[in-house]
């Protein structure tokens, strides 16, 4: 456990926030700092074919230690952190033998991690938690996954009595801005299937995710002195407001769960002459997803018929539900499930209410379910990870490799 703690802390104290407004890969130069460190660490623990390309994608191999031919399995995580909350000057703190009570993250600013609000904390009474100081995120998403993969590979290198086939490792930049798989070379990776180690609570095993699109609504208006505006002014802000009022009121993130889809407005800005609204569209069901996009177009069409052609919509698909690519090779899920059960971990199989590199990779020809990394409350100051969950993730990775070799 101490090795996991030390390794994890060495990662999270390096700022690796990605930037959606950058066109480069990686989107921020500072991601190279951790990327280069990981390359050296993979070499030091004894992996082969360690490489990093011009876009900071890292790959490495642990060769098979058995005679028979078995499938090549991959394990993938990302090293960037979200731009949604500061990842600069992270100061992780250990809470030993957690007592189930409030954790004061920052006394000066009265920032408290409380089980009254985050009741998942009570699952980890008696365990060791790594928390923030209340001013930054932690970075368990997904530096916990990287830590677990490297620790598992180091264990296999040092314990050749554990039999396994060929294993491929991949670490990516820019997952948090939706580009983690964009330049991933699936042919070079050359695995039969892989697992992203990027889930949350211990036991999570996911092979479904949202179908996703982004939409931009633009309204153009006509500015006239408000005292003489009757019949002349067209207020672009008002048009956007009317559009918003026509969206389904309860089909938003704060009122949905499970497989429910939603519309989510995430940016709004404008003036009388021009206003823009950006939103995302999500649904697990492909036909419902298509209907949601049609609804946006219909609302715009109806408003233009009512007011004139002042509104436009641009919709771009982002990623799709990987379930359709996983189900034909469902044994990859069953192996992970068996590994967890063999370790006394109850698998929590549920759809991801978000996206994953595994979705894009699955559609690129690399089936890639998602496994827990152990962290909670990602993308904010209340993020934490139980060290015991990280240890269990290491055990699951090792057990998967054992099972593939045995089967």
- Residue 202: predicted pLDDT: 97
Average pLDDT of 46-51?
Answer: 98
CATH of 217-319, one of 2.40.50.420, 2.40.110.10, 3.30.70.360, 3.30.1490.100: 3.30.70.360
Q: Residue 345: in which H helix or E strand, if any?
A: none
Given strand 262-270, what is the order of strands in its sheet?
262-270, 274-283, 211-220, 311-319
151-160 tens-digit pLDDT: 999 999 999 9
Pairwise CA distance, residues 18 & 112, whole Å = 27
- Residue 248: predicted pLDDT: 97
Average pLDDT of 195-213?
Answer: 95
Instruction: Tell me what the pLDDT averaged over the chain comes to.
Output: 96
CATH of 2-208+321-406, one of 3.40.630.10, 3.10.580.10, 3.40.50.300, 3.40.50.150: 3.40.630.10
Please confirm, yes or no, whether 80 is among the known catalytic residues.
yes
368-399 tens-digit pLDDT: 999 999 999 999 999 999 999 999 999 999 99
Is 90 exceeded by the pLDDT of residue 357?
no
* Catalytic choice (19, 80, 174, 395): 80
Is 90 exceeded by the pLDDT of residue 35?
yes
* Catalytic choice (15, 142, 154, 175): 175
Of the pLDDT bands very low, low, confident and very high (cuts 50, 70, 90), residue 125 is very high
CATH 3.40.630.10 domain residues, the chain: 2-208+321-406
88-119 tens-digit pLDDT: 999 999 999 999 999 999 999 999 999 999 99
pTM: 0.89
DSSP at 157 = H
Q: HEC profile for 266-287? A: EEEEECCCEEEEEEEEEECCHH
Please confirm, yes or no, whether 54 is among the known catalytic residues.
no
- Residue 68: predicted pLDDT: 93
61-93 tens-digit pLDDT: 999 999 999 999 999 999 999 998 999 999 999
Average pLDDT of 299-324?
Answer: 95
CATH 3.30.70.360 domain residues, the chain: 217-319
Q: Give, in order, the Cα–Cα distances in Å from 400 to each of 70, 153, 200, 338, 352.
A: 13, 12, 19, 8, 21
């Amino acid at each position: 456990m101490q090795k996991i703690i030390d390794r994890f802390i060495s990662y999270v104290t390096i700022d690796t926030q990605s930037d959606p407004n950058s066109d480069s890969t990686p989107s921020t130069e500072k991601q190279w700092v951790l990327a280069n460190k990981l390359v050296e660490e993979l070499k030091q623990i004894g992996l082969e074919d360690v490489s990093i390309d011009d876009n900071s994608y890292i790959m490495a191999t642990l060769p098979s230690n058995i005679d028979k031919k078995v499938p090549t399995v991959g394990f993938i995580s990302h090293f960037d952190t979200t731009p949604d909350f500061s990842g600069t000057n992270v100061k992780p703190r250990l809470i030993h033998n957690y007592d189930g009570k409030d954790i004061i993250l920052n006394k000066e600013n009265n920032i408290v991690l409380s089980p009254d609000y985050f009741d998942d904390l009570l699952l980890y009474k008696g365990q060791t938690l790594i928390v923030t100081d209340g001013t930054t995120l932690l970075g368990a998403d997904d530096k916990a996954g990287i830590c677990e993969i490297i620790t598992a590979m180091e264990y296999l290198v040092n314990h050749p009595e554990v039999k396994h086939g060929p294993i491929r490792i991949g670490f990516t930049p820019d997952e948090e801005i939706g580009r983690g798989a964009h330049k991933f070379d699936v042919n070079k990776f050359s695995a039969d299937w892989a697992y992203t180690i990027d889930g949350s609570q211990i036991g999570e095993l996911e092979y479904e995710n949202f179908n996703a699109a982004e939409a931009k609504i633009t309204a153009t208006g006509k500015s006239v002195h408000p005292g003489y505006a009757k019949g002349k002014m067209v207020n672009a802000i008002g048009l956007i407001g009317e559009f918003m009022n026509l969206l389904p009121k309860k089909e938003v993130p704060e009122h949905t769960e499970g497989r429910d889809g939603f519309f989510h407005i995430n940016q709004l800005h404008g003036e009388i002459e021009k206003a823009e609204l950006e939103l995302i569209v999500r649904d697990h069901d492909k036909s419902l997803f298509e209907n949601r996009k049609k609804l946006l177009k219909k609302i715009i069409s109806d408003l233009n018929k009512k007011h004139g052609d002042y509104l436009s919509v641009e919709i771009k698909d982002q990623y799709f539900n990987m379930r359709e690519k996983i189900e034909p090779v469902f044994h990859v899920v069953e192996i992970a499930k068996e590994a967890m059960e063999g370790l006394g971990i109850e698998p929590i199989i549920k759809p991801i209410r978000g996206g994953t590199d595994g979705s894009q990779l699955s559609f690129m020809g690399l089936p890639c379910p998602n496994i827990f990394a152990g962290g909670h409350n990602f993308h904010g100051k209340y993020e934490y990870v139980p060290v015991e969950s990280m240890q269990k993730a290491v055990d699951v990775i090792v057990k998967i490799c054992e099972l593939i070799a045995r089967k």
